[in-house]
């Protein structure tokens, strides 16, 4: 069970960072 929790946390953090990077790219294109 613990392994599954850790994997879920890693995936969530990865998606979160990916979203931030995408937002930065959008802002770079806009301005």
DSSP label at residue 3: H
DSSP three-state, residue 1: coil
C-alpha to C-alpha distance for 28 and 9, rounded to whole angstroms: 29
Q: What pLDDT is attached to residue 11?
A: 97
Strand, coil or helix: what is 16? Answer: helix
pTM for this prediction: 0.60
Q: What is the pLDDT of residues 1-31, one digit of tens each?
A: 678 899 999 999 999 999 999 998 888 876 6
Both tokens of residue 14?
């990865």
Model pLDDT, residue 17: 96
């Amino acid at each position: 069970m613990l392994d599954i929790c850790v994997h879920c946390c890693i995936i969530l953090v990865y998606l979160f960072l990916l979203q931030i990077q995408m937002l930065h790219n959008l802002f770079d294109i806009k301005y």
